[in-house]
Amino acid sequence: MAPQGKIYRGSVKDFQGFDANQDAEALYNAMKGFGSDKEAILDLITSRSNKQRVEICQAYKSLYGKDLIADLKYELTGKFERLIVSLMRPPAYGDAKEIKDAISGVGTDEKCLIEILASRTNQEIHDLVAAYKDAYGRDLEADIVGDTSGHFKKMLVVLLQGAREEDDVVSEDLVEQDAKDLLEAGELKWGTDEAQFIYILGRRSRQHLRLVFDEYLKIAGKPIERSIRGELSGDFEKLMLAVVKCIRSKAEYFAERLYKAMKGLGTRDNTLIRIMVSRSEIDMLDIREVFRTKYEKSLYNMIKEDTSGEYKKALLKLCGGDDDAAGEFFPEAAQVAYRMWELSAVKVELRGTVQPAGDFNDDGDAQVLRKAMKGLGTDEGAIIEVVTKRSNAQRQQIIKAYKAHYGRDLLADLKSELSGSLAKLILGLMLTPAQYDAKQLRKAVEGAGTDESVLIEIMATRNNQEIRAINEAYQEAYHKSLEDDLSSDTSGHFKRILVSLALGNRDEGPENLTQAHEDAKVVAETLKLADVSSNDSSDSLETRFLSILCTRSYPHLRRVFQEFIKMTNHDVEHAIKKRMSGDVRDAFVAIVRSVKNKPAFFADKLYKSMKGAGTDERTLTRIMISRSEIDLFNIRGEFIDLFDKSLHHMIEKDTSGDYRKALLALCGGED
């Protein structure tokens, strides 16, 4: 149960009217005779707390002279048996059994060691060490030392001491010093001082380390996780990342572990069972809500789709409810969301992957391109080498030099020589950014049907200067205004959003705290999450809401969204998804995500363009072109943080030929 003064966040509680002898008798009858009543077993065991299950085991022994766990093992089979038996063990003995299995036999299950030792409190570690000694007559530290090696072993030993500082009083000077020491031990050092990482991440308190991570982001310009990925490797890297994730939010860490256990083909049942059992009386409600917020589906539904039979029924009972149906938003998810808004306010240098060529010669490049297209066949490699290694400004100079030297239109020649996806990519790179965006918008509105996703992506993410340049390019290319085309091709609130964004009149000043609080009230009232005393009509509120999201500056909106969380205990993105629909919802969500973390927004779109069967080459091409000189380097970092694989690797796996070669050149490197 929860400590005094703390709200209980488990999904399994003490059963009211509990009688150990009665339950022992019910289990005995469920296993008596031919076959067993699995439904009765799972209903009883999943609705009792661990403390009550231990009492049932003792009562069973007293009444029948038999070991309940041994009988359950005999009567049940497979994953269901593993789950039920795991529930019968006290938490420390459950962890001890998991670790014993992880290091027994050939090979070691490092992921299991990492998950348990990175996430447990000091007291849980002490209980685990004692349980291991009691159950197996062996010293846990000695067994782990004998089965692991290097810096991975050293960090595991540090965690096994259960000696993390627990003082919530934090020294600002020490926070700054630790952040500086971590930076100097990794990014600023030739080689890496792993001992410094081990000491700070293995010993400092959670509260202290959260502030260290914030300070590190400020001085390094990147999150600590990205530096760990760059400086460390193998199981040691995975362990340190798990420690950082657990310091930030254990609920988020376990939500991610559960998602990965079930996504794709096959299910990692050992991981699924271990987490559902071990967190059911600690923070399952928090895990559920973070899961729902992060993956846009409930843990309940993912278990339902991914498992079967009594095993599924038992897991769903431990899960405790379906958040897709409830639509609630719990404090832990609000805290995770609030932390994300705080991190988004930290200034990070944006970097493209395409830089101006140092030894640039426009006439020389024009000659290389002409030679690549002259005569029979085309040298696509030479074209890719020139076009992807020059900045857009340099490409415009090459176009002029080509015209002056040969009296020909370079874009027309490229169009006649190239084809397919490569042609679209190369020709897109030869346009100015404003011309390219204008062309994409024109394609999105012309002909039958409208590609709303393209309109949203471009209009929601461009700054004032970019929007104004797009308007000019659109007028010049198509002899009509962008605003007119958007107005004639869309309707309702969606049209109003796009037209407002097309004006390029977003404020560019800093946050205004007083105004942010008032704006947060309007947002809360519009999303029906607060009963703010207001004489505004519904239509007037929606107009003000639209105005806030479409015209307030990014720093100001970050503050608005933080105030919104404090006011409602909801994240604004989650609330919009729950209470809006269609293109209006998608447009507002894109604005919110762009405000929160624009590189992460594009990383997510790139991932979705390549995951699953088939590739959305239009989206992939558009983002790689438009972000290559702005923030593609940052997008790469967010991509690997979000999806545990590099953008380079995914492009390499998902595309082919010269198109792949050109995309990888724009990507600029493997992370």
Residue 569 has pLDDT above 90, yes or no: no
- The C-alpha atoms of residue 83 and residue 594 are separated, in whole angstroms, by 42
Its sign, for the CA torsion 653, 655, 659, 665, is: negative
Domain endpoint, select from 66, 91, 116: 91
Nearest Cα to Cα of residue 486 among 442, 435, 439: 442
With contact defined as beta carbons under 8 Å apart, do 278 and 96 qualify? Answer: no
**Position 53 in a domain:** yes
Residue 537 pLDDT class (50, 70, 90 cuts): low
- Average pLDDT taken over every residue of the chain: 91
Q: What is the pLDDT of residues 138-176, one digit of tens each?
A: 999 999 999 999 999 999 999 999 999 998 788 999 999
For 179-199, what is the mean pLDDT? 85
pLDDT of 411 reads 97
| Listed residue (146, 138, 148) closest to 113, CA to CA | 148
- Lookup: tokens for 391: 């900045």
Question: Of the candidates 325, 348, 381, which is a domain's last residue?
Answer: 325
Note whether residue 344 is domain-resident: no
How much is the pLDDT for 570?
A: 81
Residue 9 is predicted with a pLDDT of: 87
pTM to 2 decimal places: 0.78
Number of domains in the chain: 4
pLDDT value of position 656? 96
Query: Residue 529 and residue 579: Cα distance in Å, rounded?
Result: 10
Q: How far apart are CA 562 and CA 577, in angstroms?
A: 17
pLDDT, position 533: 45
User: Nearest to residue 158, comparing CAs of 247, 239, 253?
Assistant: 239
CA 33 to each of CA 27, 28, 30, 65: distance values in angstroms, whole numbers, following the listed order: 12, 10, 9, 17
Nearest CA among 10, 81, 91 for reference residue 41: 81
Dist CA 391 CA 283 (whole Å): 50
The DSSP code for 101 is H
Instruction: Convert the pLDDT of each residue in 60-95 to its tens digit.
Output: 999 999 999 999 999 999 999 999 999 999 999 999
Last residue of a domain, one of 296, 325, 354: 325
The residue segments making up the domain with residue 259 are 251-325
* 587 closest CA partner among 549, 540, 620: 549
For 319, the token pair is 């899960």
- Looking at the predicted structure, is the pLDDT value of residue 657 above 50? yes
H and E: helices and strands count for the chain: 41, 0
Per-residue pLDDT of 295-304, as tens digits, reads: 878 999 999 9
Whether 153 is in a domain gets the answer: no
Residue owning tokens 């209009």: 459
In a domain, 481, yes or no: no
Q: CATH number, domain at 288?
A: 1.10.220.10
Residues 602 and 660 in one domain: yes
- Residue 628 DSSP one-character state: T
Q: Are 80 and 311 in contact (CB under 8 A)?
A: yes
| Amino acid sitting at position 167 | D
pLDDT higher than 90, residue 322: no
Cα–Cα distance, 604 to 208 (Å, whole number): 31
- Residue 307, Cβ density class (10 Å: 0-12 exposed, 13-18 middle, ≥19 buried): buried
Ranking 19-33, 523-537, 580-594 by mean pLDDT, the lowest is: 523-537
Q: DSSP string spanning 486-539?
A: HHHH--HHHHHHHHHHHTT----S---HHHHHHHHHHHHHHTTS--------HH
* Per-residue buried b or exposed e for 49-69, using 16+ beta carbons within 10 Å of the residue's own CB: bbebbbbbbebbeeeeeeebe
Residue at 263 is within a domain: yes
Model pLDDT for residues 421-440, shown as the tens digit of each residue:
999 999 999 999 999 999 99
Confidence of residue 498 (pLDDT cuts 50, 70, 90): very high
Do 321 and 259 share a structural domain? Answer: yes
Give yes or no for residue 308 having a pLDDT over 90.
yes
DSSP element (H, E) containing 317: helix 309-319
Q: Give the C-alpha separation, 37 to 548, whole Å.
A: 59
Dist CA 342 CA 331 (whole Å): 16
High-pLDDT (> 70) share of the chain, %: 93
Mean pLDDT over residues 438-443, rounded?
A: 97
Looking at residue 578, its pLDDT comes to: 82
Would you tell me how many other CB atoms lie within 10 Å of the CB of residue 35? 9
Task: For residue 43, name the pLDDT band (cuts at 50, 70, 90).
Answer: very high
DSSP letters along 329-389, please?
--HHHHHHHHHHHHHHTS------S----TT--HHHHHHHHHHHHSSSS--HHHHHHHHHT
Mean pLDDT of 443-471: 94
Which backbone phi and psi does 189 adopt, to 5 degrees? -115, 145
Residue 339 has pLDDT above 90, yes or no: no
For residue 45, tell me if it sits in a domain.
Answer: yes
pLDDT at 532: 45
For residue 613, the model assigns a pLDDT of 80
**pLDDT value, residue 584:** 93
Class of residue 340 by CB neighbours under 10 A (exposed 0-12, middle 13-18, buried 19+): middle
pLDDT band at 534 (very low <50, low <70, confident <90, very high): very low
Q: Over the stretch 350-399, which tens digit does the pLDDT of each residue have?
A: 899 999 999 999 999 999 999 999 888 899 999 999 999 999 999 999 99
Q: Which residue has the higher pLDDT, 246 or 294?
A: 246
Max Cα–Cα distance, the chain, nearest Å: 100
Q: What is the pLDDT of residue 542?
A: 80
d(CA 453, CA 619): 10
Is residue 630 included in any domain, yes or no?
A: yes
Amino acid letter for position 39:
E
How far apart (Å, rounded) are the C-alpha atoms in residues 482 and 479? 9
| Residue 374 main-chain phi, psi, to 5 deg | -85, 145
- Tens digit of pLDDT for each residue in 538-560? 567 788 899 999 999 999 999 99
Residue 611 pLDDT exceeds 80? yes
- The identity of residue 342, as a single letter, is E
* DSSP-based three-state secondary structure for 117: helix
Cα of 279 vs its chain's centroid, Å: 21
Query: Is residue 289 within 8 Å of 328, Cβ to Cβ?
Result: yes
Contacts of 504 (CB under 8 A, 6+ apart): 464, 465, 466, 467, 468, 471
DSSP string of 424-442, one letter each residue: HHHHHHHS-HHHHHHHHHH
Q: Provide the phi-psi class of 426: left if phi over 0, else alpha when psi is between -120 and 50, else beta.
A: alpha
Q: Do the domain assignments include residue 4?
A: no
Say if residue 206 is exposed, middle or buried (CB neighbours under 10 Å; 0-12, 13-18, 19+).
middle
